[in-house]
Structure 1
């Protein structure tokens, strides 16, 4: 099993002039500690589950481009991009650029999106749920076509591209992670297109794997081609948090998950990252 670091809270990163240094220290510490990936939340306002909407939030792809130059080997992605926020051709180009500048470390983490208040507040494209899923699927088709050798047009219901020319080519075709727990549509899309899927690592996480396998059977795809990943908040401020986390990781491992994205409060303090690097990552790497 592997750990990834998920950053969804920048409140501990200090004033704007301090944030670049804090983000660099977090990323480099995570890389040195043995985290396999670093993901950033792709929101523009903080969500109510984490904090207040006026708390600091960095734009994800700008921050990932910055981190490409500050790190050497850790894989970089969002968890996850709302498909409608960026035109698919532009999104494919952004992830391609991240892949090129990071030496092949980019993932496309993507989902249908859900935060209508944020989208409406900033004038971003949004749509009813059924249309968002349709746009998600077309976005995936466009990205995969742009990462192939094809420069042909793409004519979908929602997007039309006269050409999918994409130069420079990615260093390694970016891998695709589809995030979201919807069992009927999200997991079907993951079964069809994804290299990995991601769900919340709660009590029903195992059920999501079961549904994914059913979709794979229906599509004729080997489910072993899809990495099973979960995101898990880690309460590092509580006594005995390392033992509690080990118990959660063991549960997820036994369920079939192989990578867990840990979201840590006050991650800029660095100490929890170092603790995970010495007490958790070496042990679970043997599972």
Structure 2
């Protein structure tokens, strides 16, 4: 079963917050991107002026595969929300390293401070050392997703119920009333809950409990398959889910220039770091009972961008990139989560050269709507 057809909202855009050192590619190529707060504050303001509605703060607790330094995701997300006016910032978190009630309280406060712009990405986790070196147990694949599903169920229960009750295998609630609740409205009963993962377990979990499903980079055909799988599960539970797709964008004035940049990124890959990352994550992907986990078929070149962003095909001239973005929208994507080599400059290039073409192409689609998109430059 696929998503319902009919008029679609304009494609939304998010960017990866570079709150982790090393940029968005594991390469020794020059990256004019900085992981510090001042750079990120300026970037957030640039992004909301150039058509980005969301930003995703990464979560890392220790050095790994080229990322030597990391700022914590929830506090960094709140700081970026307070530095902007419209940007919704999604904080990635790991169940197992957070007590969900504590996170629910933090996000409720952040939601009030930001005027309703807090969101969360619940990540089941792939980096075993982050758990074991902190003295926390490491669960196998299926158990991590069962815990993540309970974690999301807990968040929703505590945010929406005055007498929250939950009796799960991992978490429990006993007649608990969180005050204040997060801000709510007709289209947003609580902060939006995002979730990633490519495995069957991840897709089924998204269909049951998540608001958004983030997919690793893929072709439009691959995305369409995932959209169909998740939407089918969601429909069986009387729900709908929206879909985000990871992509690394290399838009340049000529296709040759864009291809040369991509080739240099890969040619100058930090081979030791990429191979170490690949060894860790492909084992995580294959640990799913049916071998369908994330990265289970990723090549060395794919892993240079650590969420398979090259696979999404957003490389070329502004026209070529816009056409590929539309292909992903037709496949069911509601949002593209973008990474860049030089964030500040390329976010501006996207807003000036790529986004207007995407909006023109959307307007020409059958049954197109003219819904304005907040934050875009007129």
Q: Can you list the C-alpha shifts for 1:253-273, whole angstroms capped at 9, x where unaligned?
A: 121112101011232xx1101
Query: Counterpart of 2:358?
Result: 284
TM-score normalized with structure 1 length: 0.86
Q: Distance in 1 between matches of 2:47 and 2:317?
A: 16
The structural deviation recorded for 1:45 is: 3.4
Q: Report matched runs for 1:262-277 at 5 Å.
A: 262-267=338-343, 270-277=344-351
1:89 to 101, 113, 123: 101
**Contact 1:145–1:164 (Cα < 8 Å) also in 2:** no
| Equivalent in the alignment of 2:90 | 77
Q: Match of 1:185?
A: 201
- Could you say which residue in structure 1 is the equivalent of 2:14? 4
Give the drift of 1:245: 2.8
Deviation sequence 1:188-221 (CA, Å, 0-9, x none): 111111221110131222221121123134x242
List per-residue Cα deviations over 1:101-151 (Å, max 9, x = no partner): 111011221132211122223334532222211211111111001111323
Q: Deviations along 1:221-280, whole A, 9 cap, x unmatched? A: 25xx3211111122368824443532431221121112101011232xx11011111112
Residue 52 of structure 2 contacts residue 87 of structure 2 at CA under 8 Å; is this kept in 1?
yes
In structure 2, how many angstroms separate the alpha carbons of the residues matched to 1:276 and 1:261? 13
Report the equivalent of 2:125. Answer: 113
Q: Residues 235-246 of structure 1 correspond to what in structure 2 (within 5 A)?
A: 235=250, 239-240=257-258, 241-243=316-318, 244-246=320-322
- 2:21 and 2:67 in contact (8 A); partners too: no
**Alpha-carbon distance in 1 for matches of 2:342, 2:97:** 28
1:81, distance to aligned residue in structure 2 (A):
2.4
**RMSD across aligned C-alpha pairs, in angstroms?**
2.2
Contact 1:89 1:164 in 2 (8 A): no
**Larger CA Rg, structure 1 vs 2:** 2
Question: What displacement does 1:163 show?
Answer: 4.1
The separation in 2 between residues aligned to 1:171 and 1:70, in whole angstroms, is 19
**Structure 1 residues 200 and 265 mapped into 2: Cα distance closer, same or farther (>3 Å)?**
same
Q: Where does residue 35 of structure 1 map in the other structure? A: 52
Per-residue deviation, 1:180: 1.2
CA distance in 2, matches of 1:158, 1:261: 31
Q: Residue 333 of structure 2: SS of its match in structure 1?
A: coil
Aligned to 2:139: 127
For 1:25 and 1:74, locate their aligned partners in 2 and report how far apart those are by CA, in whole Å: 13
Using structure 2 for the length normalisation, give the TM-score. Answer: 0.67
Q: Deviations over 1:33-75 (max 9, x none)?
A: 1201011112223553xxx142x21110010111121011011
Cα distance in 1 between the residues matched to 2:329 and 2:347: 21
Q: Distance in 1 between matches of 2:81 and 2:96?
A: 24
* Total equivalences in the alignment: 273
Gaps of 5+ in 2: 1-10, 23-31, 185-189, 259-315, 363-378
* CA distance in structure 1 between the partners assigned to 2:257 and 2:118 by the alignment: 35
1:206 aligned to 224, 247, 253, which one? 224
What is the distance in 2 between the residues matched to 1:143 and 1:35? 26
Q: Distance in 2 between matches of 1:259 and 1:61?
A: 21
The aligned counterpart of 2:331 is 255
Q: Cα–Cα, structure 1 residues 86 and 236, in superposed 2: closer, same or farther, change >3 Å?
A: farther
